[in-house]
Chain A
Amino acid sequence: MILSNTLLERVLNAAMDGGADFAEVFCEETRHSVITGGTSGIQNSSLGLESGVGIRLFSGLRCRYAYTNDCREDTLLRLTRELASSCRGGGVRTPLTALTSYAGDGSSVASLKDKLELIRRAAAAGMDYDSEIAQMSVRYLDMDQQVLIANSEGLLASDRRQKTRMQITAYARWGENLQRGFIGPGAMAGLEFYDSFDLEAAARQAAQEAKTAAHAQKCPSGMMTVVVDNGFGGLMFHEACGHSLEASSVSKGHSEFSGRLGQQVASPLVTLIDDGTLEGQWGSLHVDDEGNPTQRNVLIENGILKGYMIDKLESRRMGVPATGSGRRQSYRFPPEARMTNTFIAAGTSRREDIISSTERGLFVGGINGGSVNPVTGEFNFSATGCRLIENGRLTEPVQDPTLIGTGGQVLEQVDMVGDNLSLGQGYCYNNSGALFICAGQPTIRVKNILVGGTE
């Protein structure tokens, strides 16, 4: 629901006249397709148009937010005045500037049949992999999101974000044991992304992972040296320290990294970057959801804490500029500083050397997901594609364990960083909704992590 400039200005005026000292209107129209299917047809579908407006007001360090998809003027003004009635003060509004458009080029026009064909191909390739594959579940999704952001400081910006992703899950049964394998490639692109992507190979990889898991032994428990492979294994650092570097944790002193800028917080081998500008990446944006261009934020450099991810409200509290990190799932959420594409920079070790120099430990192929308590830094993540490392060699596959630790502890215990950086795609869930993110790293070794196995 893209509002006219006249209506935008009326809403902003109502906010400022009512007592806000900052006001913002976020308009969104998103066309989306989410289709889940397999070899036996479509299991679930959502095709549609999301459309609505979010109105955000500040009163000092206090935030007021309303959203609706009823975009009649009287509804928007009523909600704005209700929010403003609890604000104190007010401010002067700067007239809107000329529109700055950050929209990407072109539009992706693809038929539903083209999308179904992708699902069919992935499902068929996975089923053909092995007779133990009991089922393939393939979820295709795309979105074409158009946003318009106006605020009382005169900002008027628009962006268009096209995304696509396939979430391919294979289920393998061996006797009573039913296990899954997963791969989820995605990009900031239209359907053309799949022209240069080997979908069948990805599906077979998921199937292979499921079959291996079905035959895997129980995973041992206890403190171990852990080697996490490159790619979405970077979610370990997303959880271990990424969330703790978001302003919503840092600004009120609730993060283990609050007030530690310039201090050594990690092994000198660790450089952590959040970069929303990476061309075509699933976690990228041209402009954040507060209207600021995204940027490359170096968070930790050679183990020294260099910066945080900061949104507009918390930039007020912290007295420092925002970092192009204000993100929200949709108009239904007020924005917060969140990660985009977050990764550990490449080091110098070779993957095979990292494994061969590990006498005994756990090799983690990937990560399903995880969470963190930013106050204590306690994190957990569910590992997948795991094998034991014995005498410097990968040996038996073991069932998926959960690995736990604290951010500060893990950052200090990184003792080898590979030269093979790659990114993986996923979602991050927090107060401002489910966001598309990339997490990445080269192969990394951590000296001690607690492995929650079943043996």
Chain B
Amino acid sequence: MMLKTYIEAFTLAAKAHGIGHLNFYTDISRSRAVSVYQGELDKLELSEACRLFIEGEVDGFSGEIYVENFASEQIEEQIQILRESALAYQRPFVSRPLTDMPGQETQQDFLPLDKVLEGMLAAERAANADSRTQLQGCFFQEKYSDVTLTNGEGCTMTDRMGGAHSYLSLTARQEELVQLAGKSVPLPWGQFPDMEAMADRVAADALARLHAGSYPTGACPVVLAANVVCELLDAFAPAFFAKNVYSHMSVLEGKLDQQVAGENITLLEDPLLPGGLRPRRFDDEGTPTSAKTIVERGTLRTYLHNCKSAADAGCAPGGNGFRPSVSEEASAGYTNLLLQSGEKSQDGLLADMGDGLLITGVSGVFAGAHPSSGEFSLISHGYKIRQGVRQGAVSQITIAGSFFEMLRQVQGIGGDNEWMRASHGCVRAPSLYVSSLAVSGGADDEKK
């Protein structure tokens, strides 16, 4: 059964069961992912999916059901689940009016496969050019989703989210030494990166890290590379979600209009930023999105609200009601989260720091960063810095501290923005020079 026919049939059946005020959230997506290995197309993955989340009113309560099977014989069971959820949860139904925002209807084409493969195979050759390096993974994915909200009153809102993502990793080996390095690059729809240049940079990084040493345990000035700042920002963004604040699960509870970071820190959300990787005109609850300043020169100006948290707080919904996945109710999220950049290059920040550490990668952020407490402890790698210059690679160390305390200790902000597709939206951030973080490493390795 086609989607339109299914929605019509569901609406009729729901009406017969006394279910009204139906809202339909659909996500129609297509994707193609390719990888190469040893001079050939290694993996090809295609997807075509249509997923639907339905909400409706039953006896004044709000019920729901997530659907992937649009067979007519499934409708009765689906209606029973929606009905049961309304009566069990007993959450009052709140009407959310939609505004007509039609979207594109044309199907978008993927980039020509032969051109994509040509670029990826060139990257593989570059990755294997040095006898010490070997490609481990070379991957390129294109995906778009059309998100549509419709209701029984004929209103339709559609946003298209499209984008690409490339990833390249390689190993460097020399005698007993081995190192893995990789780079992930998110792109707007229709773009293909210079993967050959990516391979060159990743190979240089892997080779440099082959001889990585440790670093003495203790407090230390650090420059966090932009990609690391993106990871931390994404990990701690839930502290800004109003639903967490009002549930006593955020360290930022009660901090509105208070200083939560240094005066040089400004954090923005801009859903319609030109070149932004997550353009959205409305959130997943149908609220129009809007640009907002979350932290202004260190002062917390707003939390990120969905409809429910806004109602609890007695303010207008902020357009930040996004679904963690299509199958879940709207919770909280963001579109393009931007840490305002400075003007210095990363080398300029290193020069200002003099002696310390440049952290170029962290792992295990999902486990080692705790948004409720604001604390983190993460395995890291990077470079020793002496008199502003890289002196050798460092690995097998941890950096640890409090994220918001760290934001009070930012001594310099780079102009070298990087993007990351993150768990709650997209993040853009520059490198940061932080006066001190706790570093744990080898006790005997000298600061060279």
Tell me the smallest distance from the CB of B38 to a CB of chain A, in Å. 9
Residues of B within 8 A of A51 (CB): 68-69
A176–B64 Cα distance when bound, in Å, is 38
Among A43, A64, A176, A178, the one with the most B-chain Cβ atoms within 10 Å of its Cβ is: A178
> Does residue A332 face the partner (Cβ distance < 8 Å to B)?
yes
Docked pose: A453 CA to B437 CA in angstroms: 11
Q: In the docked arrangement, what's the CA distance between A83 and B179, Å?
A: 34
A390-413 residues with Cβ-Cβ distance < 8 A to B are 399-402, 404-406
Query: Which of A186-194, A300-308, A354-362, A364-372 is found at the contact surface with chain B?
Result: A364-372
Q: Which of chain A's residues 424-455 have a Cβ closer than 8 Å to chain B?
A: 429, 450-455
- Shortest C-beta distance, B32 to chain A (Å), equals 10
List residues of A (77-120) whose CB comes within 8 Å of B's CBs. Answer: 79, 82-83, 86, 111-113, 116
Q: Which residues of A contact B49 (CB under 8 A)?
A: 52, 67-70, 332
A10 within 8 Å of B by Cβ? no
* Contact across chains for A178 and B364 when beta carbons are under 8 A apart: no
A401 in contact with B41 (CB, 8 Å): no
User: Is B293's beta carbon under 8 Å from chain A?
Assistant: no
Query: Is B46 in the interface zone, CB < 8 Å from A?
Result: yes
Count A interface residues, CB 8 Å.
Answer: 79
A34 and B331 alpha carbons, distance in the complex (Å): 14
Q: Mark B130-143, 1 if CB is under 8 A from A, else 0.
A: 00000010000000
How many Å lie between the Cα of A221 and that of B439 in the bound state? Answer: 8
Which residues from B are CB-within-8-Å of A44?
Answer: 328-329, 331
For window 7-56 of B, CB contacts with A under 8 Å fall at 40-51, 53
Residues of A within 8 A of B367 (CB): 368-371, 380-382, 402
Contact partner of B378 among A67, A83, A402, A453, CB < 8 A?
Answer: A402
| A56–chain B nearest beta-carbon distance, Å | 10
Bound-state Cα–Cα, A376 to B206, Å:
12
Q: Is A177 an interface residue (CB 8 A)?
A: yes
Set of chain A residues within 8 Å of B387, measured between Cβ atoms = none
Q: Is the CB of B364 within 8 A of A381?
A: yes
A207 to chain B, nearest CB (A): 14
Least Cβ–Cβ distance between A366 and chain B, in angstroms: 12
Verify B47–A68 contact, CB threshold 8 A: yes
* CB closest chain-A residue, reference B327: A46
A334 contacts B46, CB within 8 Å? Answer: no
Within 8 A of A (CB), among B379-406: 379, 395-401
* Bound Cα distance A223, B217 (Å): 10
- Which residues of A sit under 8 angstroms from B48, Cβ to Cβ? 66, 68, 70, 75, 79
Query: How many whole Å from B321's CB to the nearest CB in chain A?
Result: 12
Is there a chain A Cβ closer than 8 Å to B164's Cβ?
A: no
The contact of A451 among B249, B440, B442, by CB within 8 Å, is B440
* A378 interface neighbour in B88, B250, B395, B401, Cβ under 8 Å: B395
In the bound complex, residues from chain B placing their C-beta under 8 Å from that of A70 are: 48-50
**Contact assessment for B248 and A171 in the assembled complex, using a CB-CB cutoff below 8 Å:** yes
* Nearest CB on B from A41, distance (A): 7
Among the 9-residue stretches B98-106, B191-199, B368-376, B412-420, the one with 4 or more Cβ atoms under 8 Å from chain A is: B368-376
A373 part of interface (Cβ distance < 8 Å): yes
The 8 Å CB contact of B84, one of A52, A75, A111, is A111
Contact A454 B370 (CB under 8 A): no
Q: Is the CB of B217 within 8 A of A402?
A: no
A350 at the interface (CB under 8 A from B): no
Does A321 sit at the interface, judged by CB under 8 A? no
Report if A284 contacts B (CB, 8 A).
no
1/0 per residue, CB under 8 A from B, across A176-208: the answer is: 111110000000000000000000000000000
A148 to chain B, nearest CB (A): 14
| A173 is an interface residue with CB less than 8 A from chain B | yes
Distance of A1 Cα from B77 Cα, bound (Å):
15
A135 contacts B247, C-beta separation under 8 Å = yes
Contacting pair A370 B373 (CB below 8 A): no
Residue of B nearest to A113 (CB): B88
Q: Which residues of chain B are near A135, meaning CB under 8 Å? A: 247-249
Q: Which of A171, A332, A381 contacts B372 (CB 8 A)?
A: A171
- Verify A137–B88 contact, CB threshold 8 A: no
- B-chain residues with CB within 8 Å of residue A451 when the two chains form the complex: 440
Contact present for B247 and A455 (CB under 8 Å): no
**Contacting pair A137 B249 (CB below 8 A):** yes
Question: Is there a chain B Cβ closer than 8 Å to A237's Cβ?
Answer: no
Q: Which residue of B lies closest to A380 (CB)?
A: B379
- In-complex Cβ contact of A112 among B66, B77, B88 (8 A): B88
Which of A171, A254, A332, A370 touches B47 (beta carbons < 8 Å)?
Answer: A332
A45 at the interface (CB under 8 A from B): yes
Pick the most buried of B51, B327, B367, B400: most chain A CB atoms within 10 A of its CB: B367
Given contacts A178-B251, A452-B398, contact A82 B46 (CB under 8 A): yes
Is B65 part of the binding interface, using a Cβ–Cβ cutoff of 8 Å? yes
A177 vs B405: C-alpha distance when bound (angstroms): 13
Is B333 engaged at the interface, CB distance under 8 Å to the other chain?
no
Query: B66, A64: Cβ atoms under 8 Å?
Result: no
CA distance A380 to B249 in the complex (A): 25
Question: Nearest-CB distance from A135 to chain B (Å)?
Answer: 4
Interface contact B328-A64, CB-CB below 8 Å: no
Interchain CB contact (< 8 A) of A62 among B42, B251, B395: B42
How close is A185's CB to chain B, nearest CB, in angstroms? 19
B52 and chain A: residue at smallest CB distance: A48
- Cα distance A453–B218 when bound, in Å? 10
Which residues of chain B from 271 to 319 have a CB within 8 Å of any chain A CB? Answer: none
Chain A residues within an 8 Å CB radius of B373: 177-180
A320 interfacial contact with B, CB 8 Å:
no
Given contacts A135-B249, A375-B171, contact A62 B368 (CB under 8 A): no
Interface flag for A50 (CB, 8 Å): yes
Q: Is A155 an interface residue (CB 8 A)?
A: no
Give the docked Cα–Cα distance between A111 and B81 (Å).
Answer: 10
Which residues of chain A are near B439, meaning CB under 8 Å?
221
B:237-252 near A, CB below 8 Å: 243, 247-251
**What are 25 of the A-B contact pairs (CB < 8 Å)?**
A42-B89, A43-B247, A48-B66, A66-B47, A69-B51, A79-B48, A137-B247, A171-B249, A171-B372, A180-B372, A180-B373, A369-B366, A382-B364, A382-B368, A399-B375, A400-B375, A400-B377, A402-B378, A450-B396, A450-B397, A452-B377, A452-B398, A452-B399, A453-B400, A453-B440
Given contacts A49-B74, A52-B68, A375-B178, 6 further A-B contacts (CB under 8 A): A45-B89, A48-B53, A63-B44, A135-B248, A402-B377, A452-B397
Binding site for B on A (CB under 8 A): 1, 29, 32, 34, 38, 40-52, 62-70, 75, 79, 82-83, 86, 111-113, 116, 134-135, 137, 171, 173, 176-180, 221-223, 252, 254, 256, 332, 334, 368-371, 373, 375-376, 378, 380-382, 399-402, 404-406, 429, 450-455
Which 3 pairs, one residue from A and one from B, show the smallest C-beta to C-beta distance?
A452-B398, A48-B66, A369-B367
